[in-house]
Amino acid sequence: MSSRLRIGVALDGAGWHPAAWREPSSRPAELFSPDYWVDLVRIAEQGLLDFATIEDSLALQSSDLVGSDERTDEVRGRLDAVLIASRVAPVTGRIGLIPTATVTHTEPFHVSKAIATLDYTSEGRAGWQVKVSGRADEAAHFGRREHPGTEIEWTSPAFRDFATELFDEAADAVEVVRRLWDSWEDDAEIRDVDTDRFLDAEKVHEIDFVGRWFSVRGPSITPRPPQGQPVVVALAHNDIPYRLAARSADAVFVTPAGAAQAQSIIDEVSGITADAVAAGERDGETLLVFADIVVFLDEPGGERADERLRRLDALGRPLTSDTRIFTGSASELADLVAELGAIGYAGVRLRPGVVTDDLPRIAGAFADELRARGLFHDHYEADTLRGLLGLPENIPSRYATV
C-alpha cells in the first residue's frame, strides 16, 4: 500500500468530551454561529487534513445511547450538518466536507439533492456520512413508523433483527441516492441559446427504483454532481454496519480499542467486502478503512493530555467512548497512526477531545510529525474529495449511452 496516509477530523460541538465546552479556550456562545464552524474547518485545512466530518442526529445529544436524558450540564442542540457544510464550502478551498445525514426517517430524494448541491457549492469536495436511527425518541419526531421501544435488549436476537432491517433499509437508501446522482448524464445540459436548447431530455433518466422501503421514479431535480458520485462513508462497530459499508460505501470508519482489535477489524471488514464483491453487491472497488481515535494532545510546554483528561472527567460525566481514547504527544500519536497504516488502514479520523485545543495541535504538530516521516502530504494533490482519497474519478453515469 502507499505510505501516504489520509487524515480526517470529526467535528462535534465543543469537542468529544462532555465537559469540553467548559474549557477556557472553548466558544460555547458561538456553537450556533457560522463563524465558529468556518474557523474550525479552516484550521483543519491549514494543516492540509483531507476531510472534516460534521456530526448530526435527529434528537438531542444524550448520555443514554437509546434515548434522551435530562442533563443540563452538557452541550445540547445542533445545527444541520449539511447546511453547515454548505456554509463552510464557499470559504474553504481544498478540504473535503462530509456531513452526516440520517436515512431512517429521511427520504433519499432529499438527501440526494442536498449532497449534490453541496458538491456544487464546494466544487467537488462533498461527501456524505450515512447514519441510521434506532432510537424511539427520534421515531416519535416523525410518527410515521412503528418502533419496538426501549424494551429490546441490545444483545437479544430481536435487537439484531431490528438493526439488520435498519441497515438493509439504509443500503436501499444509498442505492436510490446514487442512482439519482447518475440520473443526469454529465453533458445533459446543452445551454445553447442559438438553438433554444438548454437541456438534452434524452440524457436525463428515470431511475424507476422499486424496493421494500422506497419506490422512486426520478430523475433528480439537480444535475449530476461535479464528482459524479460524491464520497459515501459510514461509521461501523460490528458486522451489520460493516456489511452496509461493504455494499454501499466508499469508506468506513471503524472503532478499534487497541492494536489486536485493529487487526481483527480490518480482517473482518476485508472478508465481508470480498463476500459483497462475490455476491455482486459491490463492483470490486477498494473499501477504504479508517480508524477513529478520540484525541487529547499534550500542550507544548504546558498541561499534559492525561492530566487534562482527568481534570475534565472530574467536572461532570467522565468521558466514555466507542473507540480508543489517546492521550499523549504528537509524536506518540504519529507512532500509533503509522502502526495502523502498516496493517492496512487508509488513515484515521481523529475526534478532538476539546476542539479548540486539540484541533490546532492535530493540524499543527501532529500533521508536521507525520509529514517529517513521509507519511502525509505537504500540499493538496487533488481538487476533489475522491481525488484526495485516491478513489476513481470521472466515473460515467450508469445511464449514459454507450
- Return the CATH number at 248: 3.20.20.30
H and E: helices and strands count for the chain: 12, 13
Q: Classify residue 316: in a domain, yes or no.
A: yes
C-alpha cell, 50: 483531507
Nearest to 331 by CA among 397, 274, 375, 291: 375
For residue 155, is pLDDT > 80? no
Helix (H, G, I), strand (E, B) or coil at 348: strand
Q: What is the count of structural domains for the chain?
A: 1
Distance CA 219, CA 221 (A): 7
DSSP characters over 190-252? EEETTTTEEE-GGGB----EE-SS-EE----SSPPPTTSS-EEEEE-SSHHHHHHHHHH-SEE
Q: Which pLDDT does position 68 carry in this prediction? A: 84
Q: Which three cell numbers stand for residue 131?
A: 447514519
Q: Determine what percent of the chain is predicted with pLDDT higher than 90.
A: 85
Task: Write down the pLDDT at residue 141.
Answer: 84
The predicted pLDDT at position 402 comes to: 55
pLDDT at 154 over 70: no
Is 185 among the domain residues? no
pLDDT in tens, 364-378: 999 999 999 999 999
Phi, psi dihedral angles at 68 (to 5 degrees): -80, 165
- pLDDT at position 174 is 98
Please report which confidence band the pLDDT of residue 266 belongs to, taking 50, 70 and 90 as the band edges.
very high
Per-residue pLDDT tens digits for 25-79 = 999 999 999 999 999 999 999 999 999 999 999 999 888 877 788 899 999 999 9
Q: Which three cell numbers stand for residue 250?
A: 466508499
Q: State residue 142's pLDDT score.
A: 85
**Residues with Cβ within 8 Å of residue 152, at least 6 apart in sequence:** 158, 159, 162
CB atoms < 10 A from the CB of 377, how many? 17
Which residue range(s) make up the domain with 113?
6-133+222-388
Segment 81-105, tens digit of pLDDT: 999 999 999 999 999 999 999 999 9
Mean pLDDT, all residues of the chain: 94
Q: Which 8-state DSSP code applies to residue 82?
A: H
Tell me how crowded residue 193 is: count the other CB atoms within 10 A of its CB.
8
Domain annotation covers residue 214: no
Query: What pLDDT was estimated at residue 150?
Result: 60
* Domain contains 202: no
The pLDDT value recorded for residue 307 is 98
pLDDT bracket for residue 151 (50, 70, 90): low
Q: How confident is the model at residue 228 (pLDDT cuts 50, 70, 90)?
A: very high
**Is residue 167 included in any domain, yes or no?**
no
Answer yes or no: is 356 within a domain.
Answer: yes
The verdict on residue 351 lying in a domain is yes
User: Of 367 and 284, which is predicted with more confidence?
Assistant: 367
Contact 36, 91 (CB under 8 A): no
Does pLDDT of 391 surpass 80? yes
Return the bridge partners of 99, or none.
54
pLDDT at 1 over 50: no
Task: Give the HSE-up count for residue 21: Cα atoms under 13 Å, Cβ half-sphere.
Answer: 17
Judge whether residue 2 has pLDDT over 60: no
Euclidean distance between CA atoms 19 and 73, whole angstroms: 8
Q: Does 304 fall in a domain?
A: yes
pLDDT at 70: 86
Residues 183-221 have pLDDT tens digits of 999 999 988 898 888 999 999 999 999 999 999 999 999
Scanning 347-398, the segments in alpha helix (DSSP H) are 355-361, 367-372, 385-388
Listed as own residue / partner, the contacts of 232-237 with beta carbons closer than 8 Å and 24 or more positions apart are 232/127, 232/128, 232/130, 232/174, 232/177, 232/178, 233/53, 233/98, 233/127, 233/128, 233/129, 233/130, 234/129, 234/130, 234/131, 235/129, 235/131, 235/292, 236/269, 237/322
What is the three-class DSSP state of 131?
strand
The tens digit of pLDDT for each residue in 319-376 reads 999 999 999 999 999 999 999 999 999 999 999 999 999 999 999 999 999 999 999 9
d(CA 369, CA 104): 41
